[in-house]
Chain A
Amino acid sequence: MEKVATRDAYGKALVKLGEQMPQVVVLDADLSKSTKTHDFKKVFPERFINVGIAEQNLLGIAAGMAASGKIAFASTFAVFATGRAFEQIRNSIAYTELNVKIAATHAGLTVGEDGASHQAIVDMAVMRALPNMTVIVPADATETEKAVFAAAAHDGPVYLRLGRAPVPILFDDDYKFEIGKAVVLRDGKDVALLACGIMVNEAMKAAEELAREGISARVINVSTLKPIDKGTIIKAALETGALVTAEEHNIIGGLGSAVAEVIVENAPVPLERVGVRDTFGESGKPEELLEKYGLTVKDIREAAYKVIKRKKG
């Protein structure tokens, strides 16, 4: 399967977007080669702003440009965007509902060798907790491009979570992405596997293994973490009676928490969460880290067995 990092897809999508929408501007904080906003800079140098290593100012300037009619895409690593500049996002972007798209790359453990200081594992939690914020976690290059266009068309702030490592292309051009809509990729009745980002592919593989073992698993791509698609989640809970979530993020505050919130209020069923178990990461190859921190096909498969066992009746 062809592999492309979602940050690469982001860079290419920005160029296409820039051609269609003259009001799009792109800002970066000395990481344009890594975040791939460099692609946009090459084609539209007059619409690209490098603020230097100054993330608070990055988000603040983006807010000011948005207040003056621009659609501002601001990029840096996810750790710095949502950590260093959290309060700028809160007060200058979310509270004001300005048209800033925070496209943060290098999210999750698959940053790899740079280690824990650079691996964002709470970004989904903090962005999801902000009123007015839309949170999107694309699973592959195709979905990334569609999400970039959807984010630009959406009026208001968006957090777009992108990765460093190449990931398989799962979807073709016919794939439909809509903000707020989870997509059932595979039907099943015994258990539902809900995933986002790079874990969608792992969930698909786990479903195949489970099928060989006689278990029918539904796979749902919850690429919009907020607003979350309650309908699709409740339906899965009612029809399968057991859910597993999988995310490249701390199990506190991310997809697992969001799904738990929906089901406890609407259709309580057992849930198992696959994710980083409330610990920081470390240096290593992406695959080694996913293995060590329990984010593999095997972990999802085991969680499925565990949750099915917990079903009543």
Chain B
Amino acid sequence: MEQISNEKKLQEMARQIRRNIITMLAEAGSGHPGGSLSAVEILTTLYFQEMRVDPANPRWPERDRFVLGKGHAAPVLYATLAEKGFFSREELLTLRKINSRLQGHPDMKKVPGVDMSTGSLGQGFSASVGMALAGKMDKKDYRVYLLLGDGEIQEGQVWEAAMAAAHYKLDNLTAFLDHNGLQIDGPVQEVMSPEPVVDKFKAFGWHVEQIDGHSFAQITKALEIAKTIKGKPTMIIAETVKGKGVSFMENEAGWHGAAPKKDQAAQALEELA
């Protein structure tokens, strides 16, 4: 599939991905809408504008890699991969069902286009560091992208990995922090504040960009800047709204891990029409 350069088309794609998310979660009857919806623009930009991937050859060695650190947001990844052509849109309806390739959390052995199995928060970060290190060692020019949750960064392993990425000067690694302010038990600020995140990542040796995570223009610009930064990995702190695009899900911690019922899904799809 062609890359999309036109903002309007990206917006249409994002809306389609949101509809996929709602439809698949309603069909599955369980799963994580909030953190899937907050990351739609980020994944849309990555897969339809930025990353070099080939749906016909998902294991292509030269491809750019994407690691979904916050693996519970599997629906946004599956919805995006389906639109990109890695598998059919119909298959999305098998999410979380017996014998499906679409596990509750991404499984790299099952799903074409999934570069790392995740679900245990914090582990994806180290894996992305390993991929970036291997790329440097092999003098390959592929880039590695990572998406972290703002609750996820409470994990100790995140900071081990952040330290290592800067130490090994992994400028081929670009991470997004989905700064939606919520985790399961409530506001990240109240549960266990990781702030100030900008200063923390700077102190850990990263180049930091701060953007509106729902603005295609800002995501694109930050990705462009990341490619010019030498000798450092880049952390893009994306201000987002958990549940973005569905009025009754926005900024509600309760929609972290609850699937919409039939009528709720219908209302959401109407909003996303």
Residues of A within 8 A of B (CB): 25, 46-47, 49, 51-52, 54, 56-57, 59-70, 72, 87-88, 91-92, 95-97
Contact = CB atoms under 8 A, between A and B. Distances in A.
Nearest to A47: B137
Contacts of A59: 126
B108 interface: yes
A60 B129 contact: yes
B93 interface: no
A69 B63 CA distance: 13
A72 B130 CA distance: 10
Interface in B31-60: none
Main SS class of interface, A:
helix
Given A56-B122, A65-B134, A92-B123, 4 more contacts: A56-B123, A57-B160, A64-B67, A64-B129
The CB with the most chain A CB atoms within 10 A, among B107, B160, B161, is that of B160
B117 A95 contact: yes
A101 to B, nearest CB: 14
B253 interface: no
Contacts, number: 107
A65 B119 contact: no
B205 to A, nearest CB: 13
Given A57-B129, A60-B129, A91 B134 contact: no
Contacts of B125: 60
Contact of B133 (A64, A91, A96): A64
Interface in B141-173: 156-157, 160-161, 163-164, 167-168
Nearest to A88: B123
A88 B134 contact: no
Nearest to A49: B133
B209 interface: no
Contacts of B120: 87-88, 91-92
Contacts of B65: 68
Contacts of A57: 126, 129, 157, 160-161, 164
Given A88-B123, A96-B108, A96-B116, A61 B157 contact: no
A66 B115 CA distance: 12
A61 B127 contact: yes
Nearest to A63: B127
B262 interface: no
Interface string B96-132: 0000000000011100000111011011011111111
B109 A54 contact: no
Contacts of A65: 130-131, 133-134
